[in-house]
Chain A
């Protein structure tokens, strides 16, 4: 288990009195893409949001159990949420650039974390992040235009660049392509494939083709439980559990 990046053990989540996740245990390896699939409302996004403590924003949400990132417990009062989130970037379902310029969008993270000392350094980080997100060539002449003026797919790549800019180790993606057209989706999928060389990626997706294309590991959630987890190839060709079989063959969901 030496290269295990995230280790979840018995994670329960309650929204008020309603239990949303039941004893989720999972082992996520470093520099791999793990896809979380399952029908709507099965708890995959909830689990994703436990990993960077985004669920803290919801007042009635209570998380128990253990999640360790690099062997450090994060479900605890003592966890430094700010540094945790700078280590774990997140890309959301709907592209959500700030109403600022393209440059300022990417510069936001490095600035608040004090990662840079000079303007040149900041520029360098912004440019390299945009390059890594495959957006630089398209926007290099208009870095001062508002981020909201870009197309949906470009905005999503801007959000990826913004997440990369603080140099995270893990990137969480919550249905990053569900608001995009097929071409923009294909570009993002290619990008995910490149990014996994440097980052551990967990992606929630509704599209099983997408899970099959981009991920190495797949976890199937159903009604708040983790039904099956394994190599993507195996899950999609020869799953152990009949529920998984039913879902990927489109019998429900």
Chain B
């Protein structure tokens, strides 16, 4: 039904466009004056007045139709005295019967009645849906066609409408973000109603178990997230130890030393590295790097676990190299050429020029790149899920199992659980923490980059 209505709308806007175009030509010929805007703008004007009301009708139907029909069916349902009904199950049953009459066998008469009621309501809804779309399009076209006079500035109005459309589009992303933040906050509040925020932020015991039966004291959970934060931090530090020097030196090579040909080959290759799905990095970490780390640990006398912060961090470091190298390369490239010439012209060699002139000038941008890479590392999930382990160890030893915020969110959400207990709700609290930290990192990074621009431009 919704597909055919889209065809209907398409036909409607097409004919409204043609109509608007010919109508304004006719009108201006009749009055003997030239229209203020080109005929196409009048046509677009009619089109918009046709399209947008129709779209509003379309979407409100798509969103509300099912709900309203269900409400009517349920409220008219002939309940039998004394019987207990589950509304969700009941509705599913009615829908099944309505969609597939062969299911009707053996169902009670009330259900069959309700199903036919449901079907007839759907039919009514469908007919009125098509009718209202046609009517609203005609009304829109009618309203618009009254304005189709040569002295009407169609172009100005169109421009205004386009601005509204653009504002609407950009607000979609903004409101989505705000919505996500609020849902995070409210769910977190539910979590903090059951677990104290001080326990969450400062206690070092993370056993996210909940009693399955009433009064089962043996599995009382505790939600101190410190080991999780520490694990995240440890993996991030390992990752940055790998990525910061490699990424920065790569950027310096690419920007200052590499010939055009090498650059043309290497830069896209690096960017491919950024495009590898992180789960692929994950099993690379688990299958290749983690055993190597374990063997290496044993060879120097450290008892390493099969999954470790070091393995996950190293692979994550490789993953964020392209972020750092690509951003730093851009920053270094944007240091004005005349600074290079000035330094070389005095007789500085390339290394001195890079060390004393280019890097200091590019430093804020590079710091910004690092911070963005860090926020990326903290939010990374798949590598750590596979290769870091799930044990909430509070440790500084990178050979040990650790767990991160993202891993614990995954763990909390896996399984068939309702969002009504601290275990699943803890995912939101952890998500909120993650969000706040990355938000701050991004804000600081952007501030630094901005201040740098002001200073050197």
Binding site for B on A (CB under 8 A): 52, 54, 57, 59, 82-87, 89-90, 92, 94, 96-100, 108-109, 112-113, 146, 148, 159, 162-163, 166
Contact = CB atoms under 8 A, between A and B. Distances in A.
The 10 closest A-B pairs by CB, nearest first: A86-B347, A85-B347, A96-B338, A90-B345, A109-B346, A96-B342, A112-B348, A112-B352, A99-B456, A82-B347
Contacts of B360: 99-100
Contacts of A108: 343, 346, 348, 356-357
B347 A113 contact: yes
Nearest to B457: A148
B346 A96 contact: no
20 contacts: A54-B345, A59-B259, A59-B260, A82-B349, A83-B347, A85-B346, A87-B347, A89-B346, A92-B338, A96-B339, A98-B342, A99-B339, A108-B343, A109-B346, A109-B347, A109-B348, A112-B346, A113-B347, A162-B342, A162-B346
B344 interface: yes
Interface residues of B, number: 22
Contacts, number: 70
Contacts of A148: 456
Nearest to A83: B347
Nearest to A86: B347
A44 B345 CA distance: 18
A89 B345 CA distance: 6
Interface of B: 259-260, 336, 338-349, 352, 356-357, 360-361, 455-456
Contacts of B338: 92, 94, 96
Contacts of A94: 338
* Interface residue SS majority, chain B: helix
Given A59-B259, A99-B456, A148-B456, A92 B347 contact: no
Instruction: Kindly name the residue among B345, B357, B360 whose own CB sees the greatest number of chain A CB atoms within 10 A.
Output: B345
Given A82-B349, A99-B455, A57 B339 contact: no
B344 A166 contact: no
A85 B345 contact: yes
A163 B360 CA distance: 21
Nearest to B352: A112
A54 B349 CA distance: 12
Nearest to B455: A99
A159 B455 CA distance: 19
A55 to B, nearest CB: 11
Contacts of B345: 52, 54, 85, 89-90, 92, 163
B347 A98 contact: no
A99 B342 CA distance: 12
A166 B342 contact: no
A85 B346 CA distance: 6
Given A98-B357, A99-B360, A112-B352, A54 B259 contact: no
A96 B260 contact: no
